[in-house]
Amino acid sequence: MPKGLLLTLALLCSAGGIAWLALAMEVHWQQVRASAAGPDRRTAIGLRVLGGAALAVSFGVCLLADHVTMAVLVWVMSLAASALLVAQVLAWRPRWLAWLTTPWAERQSH
Amino acid sequence: MFPTFRLSMTWLHTWFGLVLGYVLIVVFFFGSLSVFDREIDRWAIPETRFAPQPMSSFDTMLAPIFARMTPEADELQAAAKRVRGPLPATLVPMNWGAYTTHRDPVLSLYAEYAVPNNPDDPDDHVHGHVTIDPRNGRLLPDDRLKIGSEFFYPMHYGLNLTWKDLGYWIVGFAALVMLAALVSGVVIHRRIFRELFTFRPRKHVQRSTLDLHNLTGVVALPFHFMFALTGLTVFASIYLPVSETLLKPQAMAAAMADAKAKGLPFKPAGVQAPLASVDAMVVEAKRRWAARGMPGEVGYLYVNHVGDRNSYVTLYRAGSDRVTLVGQPIHFEGTSGRVLLEEPPPSAVAGVNDFLTGLHLQHFEHWLLRWFYVFGGLSGCLCIATGFIFFVEKRKRQHAKAGTGGARWADAVAVATVTGMLVATLAILVANRLLPAEMAQRGDWEKASFWGAWVIAAVHALWRSAPVRDARLSPAWAEQCGAIAALAFAAVALNWITTGDHLVRTLGERFWPVAGLDLALLVAGAIAAMAAVALRRRAGVAVAETGAAAPDDAETANA
């Protein structure tokens, strides 16, 4: 795979992972779902696992794209950029992240 | 002194952050610009707007140029005062160096010339520099200021204060305080994990400013920490110059022992001898790097003991695919061209040092990571700027009631450093395009326009700061944002008018050094214009609300 594509994939996984980790927190789940309740315990764990896995995939893809010393820097910086991006989306347009909670749409509705 | 650890850390963070923040924001901002220093050079010197070139042929192009080079006139004048008797008419070259990177279309050459008869320093020497167009060997005018690499970059590490190296020391102290500010900031942040992604722009200014301060500080914390730390290690030899002072004999002995162990002649033999083909050495070096699984170009070429029987040539691989700086040096005997030594991989300690240095100096070829560094640097600026605003917001009502001027002064200096710095940066770019091409001392005038614009911005910030005394917003913020927008758009327009390189052309040709800077200027101008409008609107609202008690909460009260 060309390097540009790998890095794009790594960035997407990083942003998604950070978003899922944020959604596992009560206040951000409420913002995104526009609901009064936070995620239940199992949902929160699921979101954390998914978020962690996405970040791990992101690191793996960084390793495929670059020499290991470079990959570490790219990954750490991508986490920082993703965190700022997710925080801004949560502040201004939280509903944009709603699709990331689709797997839990059923369980939370009843 | 304080009842709790957290309160003492709050005091440290507040006051050291405020005072050194004025320095740190300059370091962060010009560090961010230095990530693209070569590209800014291209924008500032239109004659050099062409694609990067590999290292030129030494035998056919560089050798004759080196032979014609002469020492800098100002260095000769200074050296004449250090020696007994007059200086010889021509000085003998000791060493030659040529340096390029994957981002440099031009090639810079330098030479060191021995200065004899200095009673205090037997190794006294002076330097000569030229920059050439590697496509044809033509010398480029050396009176043009490389705004990126010769003005913004030194601003980053030394504030361009060269008197007694004062700038280095101020920046070094600021970096040390930065580390303390980061640690104390983490200590006083009550909900670092719970509010990791929290930004509440619709709450009152004090709250949303603190949110943004925390957010930009915490998410980029690894970046801030590593860059403050590696900034100090890069210049460790300046801050702790033991090998130049206390341990100088030992350092000299170690260097000699090292050279002996490696079989590299430490001193010239004093017997003249011609130099073998350096181009053949380049071919051999590239072959050896490729055999090690790290093919690359020559980044740095160095001829030791020029013209002597003991001469040797060292070739360094250009930084590209690794974080570590230029490296993997191979030494060749000058007279025969045979390999004297292929340096083994560095020891663990040297390897870590090379990594930390390379991490900070970023010679690598990775555009995404470069932009991430700009992001990290600018988020640091945002963190410091919001720190200033929070400091003022928190105090201005109390100070207004008490009739003291502290908040007013802090705010005025914040305007002068935050927006004033941007005004100055844009002023030098505008001056670069406006000053006549053949003007004598043109670079000095460009620098003067930078400092002049900054002084005017500082005076304006002070002059307009009176409303802060009544707990209102200083109009200087909005006015300087307006000036930033106007200057940024003017710089792009002037680049078009004076060089014909408008964005449609540079984007069409994918000439990113110029297209990228023009685009960045347009984005900066647009943000500044929006900020100016928003600040004006807010000033109007604030006047209507004067007297209303500001809402507060536990953390903003304590921080």
Which pLDDT tens digit goes with each residue over A43-53?
A: 999 999 999 99
Q: Does A88 touch chain B (CB under 8 A)?
A: yes
* B372 inside 8 A of chain A by CB: yes
Is residue B110 included in any domain, yes or no?
yes
- Which domain, by its residues, includes B258? 51-143+235-361
Token look-up 């001056």 returns: B431
pLDDT digits (tens, 9 = 90+) for A46-86: 999 999 999 999 999 999 999 898 999 999 999 999 999 99
On whether any CB of chain A is under 8 Å from the CB of B367, the answer is no
Contact: A84, B194; criterion CB under 8 Å: no
* Residues A70, B194: C-beta atoms closer than 8 Å: no
Determine, for residues A83 and B197 on separate chains, whether the beta-carbon distance falls below 8 Å: yes
pLDDT at position A105 is: 67
What is the tens place of the pLDDT at every residue in B135-184?
999 998 877 899 999 999 999 999 998 888 899 999 999 999 999 999 99
User: Which residue in A18, A73, A90 is closest to B369 by CB distance?
Assistant: A73
| pLDDT, position B310 | 92
pLDDT at B353: 84
Least confident of B114-128, B294-308, B437-451, B543-557: B543-557
Whether B273 maps to a domain, the answer reads: yes
The predicted pLDDT at position A99 comes to 87
Q: What pTM did the predictor assign?
A: 0.91
Cβ of residue A89 closer than 8 Å to a chain B Cβ? no
Average pLDDT over residues B200-218: 92
* Predicted pLDDT at B538: 83
Instruction: Give me the pLDDT at residue B367, please.
Output: 93
Closest Cα in chain B, distance from residue A110 (Å): 27
Contacts of B355-359 spanning 24+ positions with Cβ under 8 A: B355/A69, B355/B323, B355/B324, B356/B229, B356/B230, B356/B233, B356/B234, B357/B230, B357/B233, B357/B234, B357/B324, B357/B325, B358/B319, B358/B322, B358/B323, B358/B324, B358/B325, B359/A73, B359/B226, B359/B230, B359/B323
Give the closest-approach CA distance of B131 to chain A in angstroms: 31
pLDDT digits (tens, 9 = 90+) for B17-27: 999 999 999 99
| Cα B386 from Cα B392, distance rounded (Å) | 10
Note the pLDDT of residue B84: 86
Which residue from A67, A73, A84 is facing B215, i.e. has the nearest CB?
A: A84
Give yes or no for residue B484 having a pLDDT over 60.
yes
In percent, the amount of chain B with pLDDT more than 90 equals 62
Q: Which of residues 11-70 of B touch A (CB under 8 A)?
A: none
Nearest in space to A85 (alpha carbons), one of A9, A7, A5, A11:
A11
> Has residue B282 been placed in a domain?
yes
Return the SS3 of B282. helix
Cα B62 versus chain centre, distance: 28
Q: What share of chain B in percent tops pLDDT 70?
A: 97
Q: Note whether A76 contacts B376, CB cutoff 8 Å.
A: no
Residue-level pLDDT at B364: 87
Average pLDDT over residues B112-122: 87
CB distance from A97 to chain B under 8 Å? no
Answer whether B519's CB lies under 8 Å from B479's CB.
no
Task: Write down the ipTM of this complex.
Answer: 0.93
Dihedral pair phi/psi, residue B114, rounded to 5°: -70, 135
The pLDDT of residue A110 is 44
Q: Kindly identify which residue of chain A lies nearest to residue B219, measuring between CA atoms.
A: A80
- How many independent structural domains does chain B possess? 1
Judge whether B364 is closer than 8 Å to chain A, CB to CB.
yes
* Residues of B with Cβ-Cβ distance to A70 under 8 angstroms: 321-323, 364, 366, 369
Give the contacts of B367 (CB within 8 A, at least 6 positions apart): none
Predicted pLDDT of residue B452: 97
Provide, as residue numbers in chain A, all residues whose Cβ is less than 8 Å from the Cβ of B376.
Answer: 77, 80
* Cα B9 from chain centre: 30
Nearest CB to B201; choose among A67, A81, A91: A91
Q: What is the pLDDT of residues B313-369, one digit of tens each?
A: 999 998 778 887 757 899 999 999 999 999 888 888 888 888 888 889 888 889 999
